[in-house]
């Protein structure tokens, strides 16, 4: 089910092209379509065979996928829908303002969508000055808008188009006069694309799209009453700007947040993904994460910058935060186990300074979410049986369905894994290409002893417990294993996870 805010946003995007393209040609934007790094907005007859094509080819040589309409028409796809998808997911937009640009309603409609996505826009002023976009009534585009009015065309959109042009006139751009200016454009695009390079999510993203939609519905669209009721929290009316994702190790918290980060980062001025915060804290490496925040959020480029301790890092972050203006951030703080880690990264200070930001925190402990004052949480549980089956098959067979004769064994493996993606991946790879007898032997061993990768992941949760909590855990575990109570306490220093 599509989320309400996503639907509203998509409706706004669809309205940008309504009345421009032929009736009956609309098709909803498909997220499975090919994605692009850059969208080149331009009027074809003016610059298609010159600047636009040169930019397209040069960016391609650098491994940057640019969208240029003459190159990207796909058989079987509605072309307006392809344009919308390219604009919606591009990391950078190039708007080439030529003398007759405003004569194209398509160019103006694209411009509106580009501004809505909040991705970086690089204005290129081709044979005109930026002030021409500010003085619509007397400037170079005055005749085009006058003709729209005289013919009664696009009247409901003219003011929006004029405002969009005026907005772009105040954004630092490139006045194109020579080849030197052309290289400036390519360099600026390359830097921005590198900064917003997508994270690798998963080799086989089984069920991930459904999971993202469920997360958005429950956490980003104000449908958060269940969590509030569980935690006794006061009902909120505003859109949440910090969300906690919690669940056991190996359940897929980092995978989900990487996908969310890739999809949403273009909606924010700056973005930062902080991996393995708990581990960094154990190694006294929080200053390195503070430096990463400073670089990603405030574009700090001094390679020699370093903090001797986390307090010095907090001071440096705070100095830049106080000087920032009207920025909105997307930040993922992955795998924390203590509220102090959020404090060291000034997460709440960032939210207070920029309430249009979104921060996602992942942890194994719901208590950390509640103690941090995070009022919206998402409990991540194991995969359902169908998705578990498919994920196991991908890793075991490189396809979503099993080879004949293995169905019963897969059922048993899925039962043993109980929906834990990490277990499904590890065991699928373990039996891949092996004979039937090896599968049966592995299944027997797995029931008695967890694979090493899974065991190490789960042990992190045990090591994070206080000594008294460890003793309680071992008492309960040994009770179910039939061991004496003293067995667990004698082995706390080296927990045995075979049973």
Length of the chain: 499
Of the pLDDT bands very low, low, confident and very high (cuts 50, 70, 90), residue 238 is low
Mean pLDDT over the full length of the chain? 80
For residue 14, pLDDT beyond 90? no
The answer to whether 371 and 339 are in contact (CB under 8 A) is yes
The answer to whether 331 and 270 are in contact (CB under 8 A) is no
For residue 81, pLDDT beyond 70? no
- Residue 174: strand, helix, or coil: strand
CA 287 – CA 235 distance, rounded (Å): 36
Tokens of 99: 């003398």
Predicted pLDDT at 53:
92
For residue 480, pLDDT beyond 70? no
Predicted pLDDT at 266:
73
Tokens of 3: 């989320």
CA 478 – CA 473 distance, rounded (Å): 9
The answer to whether 242 and 361 are in contact (CB under 8 A) is yes
Predicted pLDDT at 482:
55
For residue 5, pLDDT beyond 80? no
CA 12 – CA 182 distance, rounded (Å): 33
Predicted pLDDT at 442:
87
Of 181, 146, 153, nearest to 20 (Cα)? 153
Place of tokens 């829908």: 81
> Regarding predicted confidence, which is higher, 323 or 169?
169
CA 435 – CA 451 distance, rounded (Å): 19
Q: Record the pTM.
A: 0.61
Q: Are strands 92-97 and 66-67 parallel, antiparallel or unpaired?
A: unpaired
Tokens of 252: 């897929």
For residue 298, pLDDT beyond 70? yes
- Residue 445: strand, helix, or coil: helix
pLDDT, mean of residues 482-488? 52
pLDDT, mean of residues 408-427? 90
Q: In a 10 Å sphere around its CB, with 0-12 CB exposed, 13-18 middle and 19+ buried, how is residue 32 labelled? A: exposed
For residue range 334-361, what is the model confidence (pLDDT) as tens digits? 999 999 999 999 999 888 887 788 999 9
For residue range 258-294, what is the model confidence (pLDDT) as tens digits? 999 988 887 788 899 999 999 999 999 999 999 999 8
CA 359 – CA 345 distance, rounded (Å): 12
Of 90, 79, 94, nearest to 35 (Cα)? 90
> Regarding predicted confidence, which is higher, 259 or 233?
259
CA 416 – CA 26 distance, rounded (Å): 47
Q: Is the dihedral of CA 274, 280, 281, 285 positive or negative?
A: negative
Of the pLDDT bands very low, low, confident and very high (cuts 50, 70, 90), residue 409 is very high
- Residue 438: strand, helix, or coil: helix
Please report the DSSP string for 359-421 in residue order: EEEEES-HHHHHHTT---EEE--PPPHHHHHHHHHHHHHSSSSPPTT-HHHHHHHHHHHTT-H
For residue 379, pLDDT beyond 70? yes
Predicted pLDDT at 34:
53
Q: Out of 31-35, 95-99, 243-247, 340-344, which region has the weakest mean confidence (pLDDT)?
A: 31-35
CA 375 – CA 232 distance, rounded (Å): 10
Predicted pLDDT at 322:
85
Please report the DSSP string for 119-170 in residue order: -EEEEEEESS-GGGGT-TTTSTTHHHHHHHHHHT-STTTHHHHHHHHHHHHT
Predicted pLDDT at 146:
93
Highest mean pLDDT among 137-141, 290-294, 475-479: 290-294
> Percent of the chain scored above 70 by pLDDT?
76
Tokens of 321: 């935060």
Alpha helices, DSSP H only, in 221-346? 225-231, 253-264, 277-282, 286-298, 310-323, 339-344
DSSP state of 102: G
The answer to whether 68 and 14 are in contact (CB under 8 A) is no
For residue 456, pLDDT beyond 60? no
Predicted pLDDT at 18:
61
Place of tokens 């927990």: 495
Of 351, 279, 245, 352, nearest to 288 (Cα)? 279
Predicted pLDDT at 33:
40
For residue range 245-254, what is the model confidence (pLDDT) as tens digits? 999 888 999 9
Q: In a 10 Å sphere around its CB, with 0-12 CB exposed, 13-18 middle and 19+ buried, how is residue 134 labelled? A: middle
Q: Out of 45-54, 114-123, 195-204, 227-236, which region has the weakest mean confidence (pLDDT)?
A: 227-236
Q: In a 10 Å sphere around its CB, with 0-12 CB exposed, 13-18 middle and 19+ buried, how is residue 223 labelled? A: middle
Predicted pLDDT at 157:
93
Predicted pLDDT at 10:
39
pLDDT, mean of residues 222-227? 46
CA 224 – CA 270 distance, rounded (Å): 26
Tell me the C-alpha to C-alpha distance, in Å, between residue 7 and each of 29, 219, 221, 266.
Answer: 11, 15, 11, 18
Of the pLDDT bands very low, low, confident and very high (cuts 50, 70, 90), residue 197 is confident
Strand order in the sheet with 38-41: 66-67, 38-41, 92-97, 120-126, 174-176
For residue 479, pLDDT beyond 80? no
Of the pLDDT bands very low, low, confident and very high (cuts 50, 70, 90), residue 446 is confident
Of the pLDDT bands very low, low, confident and very high (cuts 50, 70, 90), residue 187 is very high
> Percent of the chain scored above 90 by pLDDT?
42
Of the pLDDT bands very low, low, confident and very high (cuts 50, 70, 90), residue 147 is very high
CA 105 – CA 102 distance, rounded (Å): 7
CA 240 – CA 233 distance, rounded (Å): 14
pLDDT, mean of residues 136-147? 90
For residue 242, which phi and psi values (nearest 5 degrees)? Answer: -140, 130
For residue 303, pLDDT beyond 90? no
- Residue 426: strand, helix, or coil: helix
Tell me the C-alpha to C-alpha distance, in Å, between residue 488 and each of 275, 450, 454.
Answer: 33, 18, 21
Which residues, 6+ apart, have CB-to-CB distance to 309 below 8 Å? 287
């Amino acid at each position: 089910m599509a989320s309400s805010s996503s639907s509203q946003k998509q409706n706004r995007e669809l309205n940008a092209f309504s009345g421009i393209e032929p009736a009956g040609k609309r098709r909803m934007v498909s997220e499975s379509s090919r994605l692009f790094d850059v969208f080149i907005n331009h009027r074809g007859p003016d610059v298609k065979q010159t600047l636009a094509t040169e930019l397209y080819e040069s960016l391609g040589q650098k491994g940057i996928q640019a969208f240029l309409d003459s190159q990207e028409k796909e058989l079987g796809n509605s072309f307006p829908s392809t344009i919308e998808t390219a604009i919606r997911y591009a990391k950078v937009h190039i708007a080439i303002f030529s003398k007759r640009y405003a004569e194209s309603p398509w160019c103006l409609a694209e411009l509106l969508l580009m501004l809505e996505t909040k991705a970086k826009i690089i204005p290129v002023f081709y044979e005109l000055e930026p002030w021409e976009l500010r003085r619509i009534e007397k400037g170079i585009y005055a005749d085009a808008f006058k003709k729209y009015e005289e013919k009664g065309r696009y009247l409901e959109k003219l003011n929006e188009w004029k405002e969009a042009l005026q907005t772009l006139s105040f954004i630092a751009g490139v006045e194109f006069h020579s080849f030197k200016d052309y290289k400036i454009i390519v360099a600026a695009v390359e830097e921005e694309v590198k900064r917003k390079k997508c994270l690798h999510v998963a080799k086989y993203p089984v069920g991930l799209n459904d999971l993202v939609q469920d997360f958005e519905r429950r956490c980003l669209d104000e449908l958060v009453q269940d969590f509030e009721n569980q935690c006794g929290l006061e009902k909120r009316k505003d859109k949440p700007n910090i969300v906690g994702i919690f669940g056991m190790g190996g359940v897929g918290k980092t995978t989900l947040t990487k996908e969310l980060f890739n999809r949403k980062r273009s909606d924010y001025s700056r973005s930062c993904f902080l991996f393995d915060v708990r581990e960094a804290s154990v190694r006294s490496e929080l200053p390195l994460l503070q430096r990463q925040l400073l670089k990603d959020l405030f574009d700090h480029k001094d390679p020699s910058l370093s903090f001797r301790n986390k307090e010095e890092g907090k001071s440096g972050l705070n100095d830049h935060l106080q000087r920032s203006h009207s920025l909105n951030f997307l930040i993922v703080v992955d795998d924390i186990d203590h509220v102090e880690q959020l404090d060291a990264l000034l997460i709440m200070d960032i939210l207070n300074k920029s309430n249009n930001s979104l921060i996602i925190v992942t942890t194994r402990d719901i208590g950390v979410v509640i103690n941090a004052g995070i009022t919206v949480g998402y409990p991540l549980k194991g995969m359902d049986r169908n998705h578990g089956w498919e994920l196991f098959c991908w890793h075991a067979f490189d396809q979503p369905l099993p080879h004949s004769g293995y169905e019963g064994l897969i059922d048993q493996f899925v039962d043993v894994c109980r929906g834990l993606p990490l277990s499904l991946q590890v065991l699928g790879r373990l039996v891949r290409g092996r004979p039937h007898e090896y599968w049966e032997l592995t299944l027997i061993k797995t029931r008695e002893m967890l694979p090493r990768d899974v065991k190490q992941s789960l042990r992190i949760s045990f090591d994070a417990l206080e000594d008294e909590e460890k003793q309680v855990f071992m008492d309960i575990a040994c009770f179910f294993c039939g061991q004496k109570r003293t067995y667990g306490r004698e082995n706390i220093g080296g927990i045995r996870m075979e049973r």
